[in-house]
Structure 1
């Protein structure tokens, strides 16, 4: 939909600002191509607005819900899945992986001697004294203590739940 059609639909629906509607009215009066498009869209608008919408009966929701209740409730999802399909997919992947590994091991030259030396890498020294001081460690332990007490309280409240006798 182009901008002119949107402008005409807004005019027909009565949406948009007053200035936009006035400008559209001016375009309809002055431009013959715009007026022809307006007449075409206006006839569509009148046709659509004159249609009577079918409304469902008052008991539609109740009837639908009753029909749904009559449907058989499926069991678990496990009963809906055919296990043969799962076994077939599993077998396909296992055979494929086994074949790929077999080809890989077949193509390896096992007679060649190789040596592998790990490259030396020295980790850079990190000065943690700026980050790990006694205050930060105390805050960490305090937060751990609070979390532990919260979890312990939850454990105790589950154990002491009141038992209701019927």
Structure 2
């Protein structure tokens, strides 16, 4: 539906304010095509008003509810999966993994390399722990503590 048609329907139904109503009246008077469209919509509106709406019988609701009650409730489909199929699929994957593991063992050198593990634990802590780091750590702890305190107090208030 285009905008002029929507505006004409709103004009026919009386859903427009005064300024929009005057603008549509001017369009109808000035444009012959809009006037013919307006007249067609008026005729259609009259036909719609003359139609009688069919109403269901008084017992329609009861009849529908009774027919729904007689239909059996759908049952979840119970399919049975053969356990042999699952065992075959699982066996295939186990055999595939064992074959892969055997291939890796066959093509690998089982000599363990000698680990030379020299760890130097002589750190200059004064280089890493500066007042800025310490203040930052304390600030973060303070913020976390305030968050936990807020949660604790909110839970306590909600209980009361």
Shorter-chain TM-score bucket reads 0.5 to 0.7
Q: Is 2:142 the counterpart of 1:136?
A: no
User: Matches of 2:25 and 2:108 in 1, distance apart?
Assistant: 89
Q: Alpha-carbon deviation of 1:37?
A: 1.3
Q: Is 2:83 the partner of 1:80?
A: no
1:15 match: 15
Give structure 1 regions of 4+ aligned residues with deviation exceeding 4 angstroms: 124-127
SS of the residue 1:29 aligns to = helix
Structure 1 gaps of 5+ residues are: 114-123, 151-166
Cα shift readout 1:45-78 (whole Å, capped 9, x = no counterpart)? 222222111011222222222222222234xxxx
User: How far is the alpha carbon of 1:83 from its aligned partner?
Assistant: 1.4
CA distance in 2, matches of 1:63, 1:20: 49
2 CA distance for matches of 1:136 and 1:28? 72
Give 1:31 deviation, angstroms. 0.9
1:56 aligns with 2:56: yes
Q: Where do 5+ consecutive residues of structure 2 fail to align?
A: 110-127
Secondary structure (helix, strand or coil) at the match of 2:6 reads helix
**Counterparts of residues 37-52 of structure 1 (less than 5 Å):** 37-52=37-52
Write the distance in 1 (CA, Å) between the matches of 2:78 and 2:55: 42
Q: Equivalent residue of 1:131, what SS?
A: helix
Which has the higher Rg, Structure 1 or Structure 2? 2
Alignment: residue pair count:
122
Q: Distance in 2 between matches of 1:49 and 1:33?
A: 24
For 1:64 and 1:131, the matched residues in 2 are separated by 66
- The offset of 1:112, in angstroms, is 6.8
